[in-house]
Amino acid sequence: MTFDVLQLKETYDSDEDDILNDFYIPVLSGAVRYCRLAGYFSSASLAASAKGMAKFLQNGGKMQMVTSVQISEEDSRAILDGLTQPDEVISKIMQKNLDEADQLQKDHVSALSWMIAKKSLEIKVAIPLARDGKYYTKDLDRNSIYHQKIGILYDVADNIISFSGSVNETAKAWNDNIEEFKVFCSWKPGQDVYGSNDARKFEKFWHNHSDNTRVIDLPAAVRERLIKNAPKTETDAMGRIRGVYAPLDLRDYQNEAIQKWFDNRMHGVFAMATGTGKTHTAIACIKKICDDSEHNLIVVTCPYKHLVTQWSDALKKWGIEAVKVYGSSAQWRDNIGDQVRHLYNKILKNLVIVTTHDTFAREPFMDIIRSSGNRTFLVADEVHKLGAEKRSEGLLESYGIRLGLSATPERYFDEAGTKKILGYFGGIVYEFGLDRAIKQDYLVKYELYPHIVYMNDDESFEYHKFSRHIAIEASKNKPDREKIKQMSLKRANIIKTARDKLAKFRDILKENDGTLDHCLVYCVGGQLDEAASVLHDMHVIFHRFTFKEDPEEREKLLKEFENGNQDVLLAIKCLDEGVDVPSIKTAIILASSNNPIEFIQRRGRILRKSPGKDRAVIHDLIVLPKHLPTDKIYTELEKSVIQKELDRLAEFASSSDNPEYSTNLIQTVMKEYDLS
């Protein structure tokens, strides 16, 4: 990765920005040289920047740092009186710091030692001078090293990023203090002069040419002690560098899934329940391939843009930087083309791209993949969504390594699409269902309360009309599949927007005395205003959670919901789009659907574990026609549809803690519609 693909701001302020994750880690991951002037340095900064530093070292990066230590008044007088030498004072201070380090700090110091031993890090120490050239500790001059906080980074293409401001090279500075700095990029018009000036300033200190500061090499005693205690292997050192940022520990079943995938020649689908860690299981596969070999092109594709960000953030937790690609090809084609060429020419070790299903299946992206010439690995999240005719065009033979992820890999009423997906990816190599996840305490237990809602006369008429048209078209020798699809969508919309759902919604709220704890009300767009009116009438504190909020506002709403400042989130689509809201304790699904895939996905997200949550309650509204059609042939057809819906309910109820509630309701409905 080269710097010019990063989306960097011109200024960063820790009061508003996540400096560590938004700046420090991404730029270090693309750097091959790092020059740093910092007021104070401690090995704890390795913990704060561990992921970026690990990738920096994998790039063969070299770091040069001029830093300082705080000299006491007593030590300053001893130097001035000629009783001791500056390097002896610095050695004493540093060794005292080493003696007092706790175990975690010792691990970080050990990683620092390995960097020094391998000549990946060179440190010099600066001591400020008074105007008469003597050492001193207070009333520091503005030009002293304590005020020179500058970083200069270089990538493989000789792009330069420089930053300057109030950032010290310590974990506290990057995480806790209110810090701000400016960023200059050499490839941006008018900014290259700033990087050049910062580079000259660094060289001045590095070569001890400053009038107000004396710069010395790291004291020999300190260097020797560090090297003596350095890890003996790169694996040990990199593990300590990552420290608290090491990848999440995988569960036994995740390791089992990974092994089965490798045993299947790195092809296959993980059919794992929502909430059981498919993402991290897949990233572990990516990491193993990148650790074992170089010059791999990895493409992760997912349904929506906000999931691109979620995947990118998850990859960062494993020390993997990814390039996000979506939208107009004019925004990314040249940069991605350059990155792929760098990979082919072995300038980059590996390249990870995260994109959307739509971009993945468009010609500009497919052209880059076809012509890459690299070993290419495809990870398809929500892989069942790639069975659609247009999106399936992106399933190129160029991808020699293939991994699909889905809680529901089989497509609803699309046998051909399911066959295409499973054939391309090599079948399902590992299954981890919801029942097993609940039994093994990876998801919370739940109670399911189905509620029957009857269509009114107009809705029943329209529903039966579409059912007849669908049956007639499907019976033809050459049925129009697109026509059937459109009529099915219109029929499904009658179920989703049935008028009497709102009356049932009000009844559910009354049963809960109008008080709800961490409740999500899931509806379709046409129900939003009316559902909001019901909540308002019941004096329930709620907020809308829709496509209109920007990512920052969504994050704020989720935090308020998690903290209990909002009783209810009134949402559309979020449970179908992969938004993680693990703190949900109660869910009322107004947007009910006959599609079992949608319910499985929604249920899995509702059952995610969260502090203070030991179970979940799901209210599912099931819509049925008020009466059956008079034509006998269509009566039997509608009966079969109702029976399938009851079968679906019975299956989902079997995993719940209160299956008898659903069983009683099913028996009542079967009697009402004369079902055997």
The domain defined by 3-244 carries CATH number 3.30.1330.30: no
Is the sign of the CA dihedral 132, 138, 143, 149 positive or negative? positive
CATH 3.30.870.10 intervals, the chain: 3-244
Q: Is residue 284 within 8 Å of residue 252, measured between CB atoms?
A: no
pLDDT digits (tens, 9 = 90+) for 19-43: 777 888 889 889 999 998 876 655 5
pLDDT at 416: 87
What are φ and ψ of residue 18, in 5° steps? -90, 85
What are φ and ψ of residue 345, in 5° steps? -85, 10
* Helix 278-292 and helix 305-316, axial crossing angle in degrees, nearest 10: 60
Across all residues in the chain, what is the average pLDDT? 84
Q: Mean pLDDT lowest for which of 87-91, 123-127, 158-162, 369-373?
A: 87-91
Is the sign of the CA dihedral 285, 579, 487, 500 positive or negative? positive
Confidence of residue 275 (pLDDT cuts 50, 70, 90): confident
For the chain, percent of residues with pLDDT exceeding 90:
42
Q: Which carries the bigger pLDDT value, residue 183 or residue 79?
A: 183
592 CB-side CA count, 13 A:
28
Task: Domain 445-672: give its CATH code.
Answer: 3.40.50.300
pLDDT at 515: 62
pLDDT at 143: 43
pLDDT at 139: 42
pLDDT at 248: 58
CATH for 252-439 (3.40.50.300, 3.10.20.600, 3.40.50.1820, 3.40.640.10): 3.40.50.300
Which two tokens mark 287? Answer: 């990491």
Q: Annotate 477-496 with DSSP letters as a single string.
A: SS--HHHHHHHHHHHHHHHH
Q: Which carries the bigger pLDDT value, residue 26 or residue 70?
A: 26
pLDDT digits (tens, 9 = 90+) for 111-160: 677 888 888 889 898 877 766 555 555 444 444 445 557 889 999 999 99
Q: What one-letter code names the amino acid at 451? A: H
What SS3 class is residue 361? coil
Q: Which helix or strand (DSSP H or E) is residue 163 part of?
A: strand 160-165
DSSP label at 135? B
CATH 3.40.50.300 intervals, the chain: 252-439, 445-672
pLDDT digits (tens, 9 = 90+) for 424-452: 999 999 999 989 999 999 999 999 999 99
Most confident of 191-195, 335-339, 608-612: 335-339
pLDDT digits (tens, 9 = 90+) for 450-499: 999 999 999 999 999 998 999 899 889 999 988 998 998 899 889 888 99
Cα–Cα distances in angstroms (integers) from residue 134 to residues 37, 128, 458, 507, in the given order = 22, 8, 94, 82
pLDDT at 439: 92
What are φ and ψ of residue 620, in 5° steps? -115, 120
Q: Is residue 161 within 8 Å of residue 153, measured between CB atoms?
A: yes
DSSP label at 268? -
What SS3 class is residue 144? coil
Q: What span, in angstroms and rounded, lies between the C-alpha atoms of 287 and 243?
A: 17
Q: What span, in angstroms and rounded, lies between the C-alpha atoms of 118 and 227?
A: 9
31 CB-side CA count, 13 A:
28
